Amino acid sequence: MNVDGKHYRTIWLESPGCVRIIDQALLPHEFAFMDLRTPEEMARAIRKMHLRGAGLIGCAAAWGLYLAALRQAEAADFAASMQAEAAALQATRPTAKNLEWALVRMQKALAACAPADRVETARREAQAITDEDADFSRRMGQHGLALMREIAQRKNGQPVNVLTHCNAGWLAFVDHGTALAPVYAAHDDGIPVHVWVDETRPRNQGASLTAWELGHHGVPHTLIPDNAGGHLMQHGLVDIVFVGCDRCTAAGDVANKIGTYLKALAARDNQIPFYAVLPSSTIDWDIADGVRDIVIEERGSEEVRFMTGWDDAANRPATVRICPEKTPAANFGFDVTPARLVTGIITERGIAPASAEGLRNLYADLHP
Ligand code: MRU
| Whether residue 89 is found in the same domain as residue 219 | no
* Nearest Cα to Cα of residue 182 among 155, 156, 164, 206: 164
- Would you say residue 368 lies in a domain? no
Ligand 1 pocket: which of 10, 47, 166, 294 to mutate (most atoms within 8 A of CB)? 166
State how far Cα 27 lies from the chain centre.
16
Pairing of strands 221-224, 283-284: unpaired
Asked which of 92, 117, 132 is the last residue of a domain, the reply is 132
What is the full DSSP assignment across 65-94?
HHHHHHHHTT-TTHHHHHHHHHHHHHTT-S
pLDDT tens digits along 83-103: 999 999 999 999 999 999 999
Pairing of strands 283-284, 247-249: parallel
| Whether residue 152 is found in the same domain as residue 53 | no
Answer left, alpha or beta for residue 230, where phi above 0 means left and psi between -120 and 50 means alpha: alpha
pLDDT for the residue numbered 112? 82
| CA geometry: angle 92, 93, 98, nearest 5 deg | 115
Helical (H) or strand (E) element with 186: helix 181-188
| Whether residue 31 is found in the same domain as residue 68 | yes
Ligand 1 atom nearest to CA at 205: 3
| Whether residue 65 is found in the same domain as residue 194 | no
- Would you say residue 37 lies in a domain? yes
- Would you say residue 243 lies in a domain? yes
pLDDT for the residue numbered 43? 98
Amino acid identity at 67: L
Ligand 1 atom nearest to CA at 165: 12
CA distances from 3 to 7, 169, 213, 248 (A): 6, 14, 8, 31
- Expressed in angstroms and rounded, the spacing between residue 28 Cα and the centre of ligand 1 is 17
Asked which of 112, 132, 152 is the last residue of a domain, the reply is 132
Average pLDDT over the chain reads 97
With a cut of 50, list the residues of the chain below it in pLDDT.
none
| Whether residue 83 is found in the same domain as residue 166 | no
Nearest residue (CA) to ligand 1, atom 7:
53
Nearest residue (CA) to ligand 1, atom 6:
53
| Whether residue 146 is found in the same domain as residue 291 | yes
| Whether residue 268 is found in the same domain as residue 294 | yes
- Would you say residue 263 lies in a domain? yes
Asked which of 84, 117, 132 is the last residue of a domain, the reply is 132
Ligand 1 pocket: which of 50, 92, 246 to mutate (most atoms within 8 A of CB)? 246
| Whether residue 205 is found in the same domain as residue 304 | yes
CA–CA distance, 105 with 321 (Å, rounded to integer): 42
Ligand 1 atom nearest to CA at 278: 15
What three-state secondary structure class fits 195?
strand
Instruction: Name every protein residue with a CB atom under 6 angstroms from any ligand 1 atom.
Output: 52-54, 166-168, 172, 178, 205, 243-246, 256-257, 333
- Expressed in angstroms and rounded, the spacing between residue 41 Cα and the centre of ligand 1 is 21
Could you tell me the CATH number of the domain that includes residue 333? 3.40.50.10470
Ligand 1 pocket: which of 167, 173, 178, 180 to mutate (most atoms within 8 A of CB)? 167
| Whether residue 308 is found in the same domain as residue 266 | yes
198 assigned to active site = no
- Expressed in angstroms and rounded, the spacing between residue 206 Cα and the centre of ligand 1 is 10
Overall domain count for the chain: 2
- Expressed in angstroms and rounded, the spacing between residue 66 Cα and the centre of ligand 1 is 24
- Would you say residue 13 lies in a domain? yes
| Whether residue 118 is found in the same domain as residue 156 | no
Question: Residues 274, 263: contact at Cβ < 8 Å?
Answer: yes
| Whether residue 173 is found in the same domain as residue 117 | no
Give the structural domain span for 338: 139-362
| Whether residue 165 is found in the same domain as residue 287 | yes
Residue among 175, 246, 253, 284 flagged as catalytic? 246
Residues whose CB is less than 8 angstroms from the CB of residue 237 and which lie 6 or more positions away in sequence, other chains included: 161, 196
Nearest residue (CA) to ligand 1, atom 12:
244
- Expressed in angstroms and rounded, the spacing between residue 33 Cα and the centre of ligand 1 is 20
- Expressed in angstroms and rounded, the spacing between residue 167 Cα and the centre of ligand 1 is 6
Instruction: Please state whether the predicted TM-score (pTM) of the whole model is above 0.85.
Output: yes
- Would you say residue 289 lies in a domain? yes
- Would you say residue 178 lies in a domain? yes
Could you tell me the CATH number of the domain that includes residue 85? 1.20.120.420
- Would you say residue 367 lies in a domain? no
